[in-house]
Chains A and B, each alone.
Chain A
């Protein structure tokens, strides 16, 4: 085993260890949310995951972006075969270890090269769409600074990685001619052979240097990418799978009936119940507040949603409030929820599990104005390619404003009063309910 292999193994292990550390951090942040049991209808859940995450069924609602995304997605998955080869070669000092597959290897390398080219082109088109064409959803208020840079960084990284792969293969072909003992002539290179001419104009020593440098660049680049992803919206490549599995299978119009409220209402309405009875042990609501003030009052599924968000903005581009210029943007709701979970998670890590920084999701991150603009129309939920539910969070925030802070627009308060007093949201008398029979 040479020094090269040892360095390789060290880099590889560090890369993977850092990745795992970050995943555990995200897991802990998601677990800041309260419990919610989701394990019914398993076969439907697997099917949903297969269709939406694996099959990208929602992506093609927008055909151009959908097609390009599928190219990048398929490329991303299959190019990992070559990464696997690089890892084995790096550890054991072999060269193109999979070439023992013979003819199939030719096919594989050829196929991967074509994919690499397609991914590269798709990323270029994505960059143009994002930065040159004025597609509104890429330029909403929340898409500045980091979120904007993040999207571009990943596209450029993919272009560089794919470029390195193709150039490395071109160098390999040149070396196959000059050093057939270390670079046995294997593989078909339908794309990179176009670069052989340029590569061949350098001296063999230079090409050898290129080939090694590109090889290292590619694998270090991949490890860097791996560690970048969980800090970025690109983490959806992993979380899309669990998130679609755990997605809501009920009709979208159905909102949950809060169990904590149900108990109190039953006590109030049931004359035979003893209002002073202490609730049986273990039956207290796990979370002490009604609705959500902070991420700790949301469920872990809401937080998984937040970490899964790709910031694509499809939700906001169909949101009636956003379309008509209101401050509400369902994408921002998801981004704020994630950012707040990150902030609180880091604080708790530094100051202990029960510490709290005094900040909150509502008010500090999301304003009342935003959540009151929602029509609960479910368009955002329907549009999301990874089945995120921004509406669920919005309603939980409203619940907290109403039931804990007693804060609502004046007209909403009088609507409540009317329902309470007249059994209708307007100030009409219940005695007039059947007047329609006799009036025109």
Chain B
């Protein structure tokens, strides 16, 4: 069977600019969302929701480049600032003023670290953006498939502690009519999945346990059938943790965008 699905309609900034147009918002995909097979599904789910809500958005496409986040956290400030410099040049040339992204690391970097380097944008995490779409009636969702289901939510460090965004993702779970069950360590006390600070790109130091396993065990304890995540890296770490615990058949690790897209049968 051909597993290529129908190509979606996604505009890019360059072709819009050629028509002399500028979209309402730039969808910043991020490297995971562009290249990682699991994360690409999140990207698609969110794009479908944007299409469904009739949002006038565009992507940078091949002109997007790593924000520099992993380089910066690993201590390579040169590489980070070079990345920032060229990304800002591209975005400023298009007159970008509003960005939405499905990656909390891109979100944090674009929102907090780019302004001093000349990139001033209003940056939103996709969970915030989805809430806005729902609150303004542009996107409607009924729990349907998730009604009454137990869902736990894993706070990504760079969304929660890093930027104090705790409510937006939880709001979405409520809007799905699902039952939100919290892990013991949640919100500001949430335990990291183990991916941040460039850990994603290296082996862990010797120790007694992998961090993602510690976190996954906590998620399993909640008896939730779904672990909602808001970060492609957390998603990978938790998915791996579930595999390790041999729970991948019974507990799904899903991005909030995927949950909503699924509830809407998109």
Count of chain B residues with a beta carbon within 8 Å of a chain A beta carbon: 76
Q: Please determine whether A434 and B85 come into contact, CB atoms closer than 8 angstroms.
A: no
The answer to whether B194 touches A375, judged by C-beta atoms less than 8 angstroms apart, is yes
Contacts of A268 in B (CB 8 A): 82
Kindly state whether residue A436 has any CB partner on chain B within 8 Å: yes
Query: Within 8 Å of chain A (Cβ to Cβ): is B152?
Result: no
A290 contacts which chain B residues (CB < 8 A)? 77
| Nearest CB in chain A: distance from B90 CB, A | 11
Q: How many A-B residue contacts, CB cutoff 8 Å?
A: 223
Judged by a CB distance under 8 angstroms, whether B142 is at the interface is no
Q: In the complex, are the beta carbons of A382 and B189 less than 8 A apart?
A: yes
| C-alpha spacing A324/B64, complex, angstroms | 36
Q: Is there contact, CB below 8 Å, between B77 and A425? A: no
The reply on A261 being an interface residue by CB < 8 A is yes
* Smallest CB separation, A163 vs chain B (Å): 38
- Cβ–Cβ contact A253 & B81, under 8 A: no
Question: Once the chains are docked, how many angstroms separate the CA of A97 from the CA of B137?
Answer: 73
8 Å CB interface, B52-85 against A:
59, 61-62, 64-66, 68, 70-79, 81-83, 85
Chain B min CB distance to A270 (Å): 9
Q: List residues 199-227 of chain B with CB under 8 A from any CB of chain A.
A: 199-211, 214-215
The answer to whether B112 and A254 have CB atoms under 8 Å apart is yes
Contact A377 B157 (CB under 8 A): yes
Could you tell me how many residues of chain A have their Cβ less than 8 Å away from some Cβ of chain B?
Answer: 69
Does B266 sit within 8 A of A, measured CB to CB? no
Decide if B76 touches A402 in the complex (CB within 8 Å): yes
Q: B33 touching A436 by the CB < 8 A rule?
A: yes
Roughly how many angstroms separate A437 CA and B86 CA in the complex, as a whole number?
24
Specify which chain B residues have a CB less than 8 angstroms from the CB of A253 in the assembled complex: 108, 112, 157-158, 161-163
Binding-face segment, B5-13, B92-100, B248-256:
B5-13
B11 to chain A, nearest CB (A): 10
Measured between beta carbons, the chain A residues less than 8 angstroms from B164 are: 251
Known: A253-B108, A411-B202, A433-B34. A261 touches B78 (CB 8 A): yes
**Among A381, A395, A434, residue most surrounded by chain B Cβ atoms (within 10 Å):** A434
Instruction: Report yes or no: A419 in contact with B34, Cβ–Cβ below 8 A.
Output: no
Contacts of B8 in A (CB 8 A): 437
Q: Is B17 an interface residue (CB 8 A)?
A: no
Which of A265, A375, A430 is close to B197, meaning CB atoms less than 8 Å apart?
A375
Contacts A257-B117, A321-B207, A326-B204 given; does A416 touch B86 at CB 8 Å: no
- The answer to the question of B40 belonging to the interface, with a C-beta cut-off of 8 Å to chain A, is yes
Contact A374 B79 (CB under 8 A): no
Which of B8, B188, B192 has the most C-beta atoms of chain A within 10 angstroms of its own C-beta? B192
Chain B 168-212 per-residue mask, 1 if CB under 8 angstroms from chain A, else 0? 000000000000000001001101101111111111111111110
Instruction: Find out whether the CB atom of B205 lies under 8 angstroms from the CB atom of A402.
Output: no
Decide yes or no whether B247 CB sits under 8 A from chain A. Answer: no
Within 8 A of B (CB), among A245-292: 250-255, 257-258, 261-262, 264-266, 268-269, 290-291
Contact of B205 among A326, A379, A424, A433 (CB under 8 A): A326
Residue among B35, B188, B205 making CB contact with A428, cutoff 8 Å = B35
Q: For the complex, give the distance between the alpha carbons of A437 and B12 in Å.
A: 11
Contact of A431 among B33, B62, B197, B198 (CB under 8 A): B62
Query: What B residues does A416 contact at CB under 8 A?
Result: 71, 74, 76, 79
Roughly how many angstroms separate A63 CA and B188 CA in the complex, as a whole number? Answer: 17
Cross-chain contact A426 with B31 (CB below 8 angstroms): yes
Chain B contacts for A409, CB-based, 8 A: 202-203
Chain B residue nearest to A254 in the complex (CB): B112
Cβ-based interface call for A225 (8 A): no
Q: Which residue of B lies closest to A414 (CB)?
A: B201
Closest Cβ–Cβ distance, residue A326 to chain B (whole Å): 4
Task: Report Cα–Cα, A408/B192, bound state, in Å.
Answer: 22
Verify B75–A291 contact, CB threshold 8 A.
yes
A434 to B44, CA, bound (A): 11
When the two chains form their complex, are residues A375 and B195 in contact, meaning their CB atoms are under 8 A apart? yes
Determine the chain A residues whose CB is within 8 A of the CB of B83 once the complex forms: 419, 423
Chain B residues whose CB sits within 8 angstroms of the CB of A438 once the complex forms: 4, 7
**A440 CA to B83 CA, complexed, in Å:** 29
Checking B3, B113, B206, B215 against A326 with a beta-carbon cut-off of 8 angstroms, the contacting residue is: B206
Which residue of chain A has the shortest Cβ distance to B109 in the bound complex?
Answer: A253
A residues near B77, Cβ cutoff 8 Å: 257-258, 261, 290-291, 399, 403
Chain B interface residues (CB < 8 Å from chain A): 3-5, 7-8, 10, 12, 29, 31, 33-36, 40-41, 43-44, 47, 59, 61-62, 64-66, 68, 70-79, 81-83, 85-86, 108, 112-113, 116-117, 157-158, 161-164, 185, 188-189, 191-192, 194-211, 214-215
8 residue pairs, one from A and one from B, having the closest CB atoms = A253-B162, A325-B208, A398-B75, A376-B197, A423-B65, A254-B112, A377-B192, A325-B207
List 8 extra interface pairs beyond A255-B73, A376-B73, A415-B70, CB under 8 A: A254-B162, A262-B81, A323-B214, A375-B192, A376-B198, A379-B157, A398-B75, A425-B201
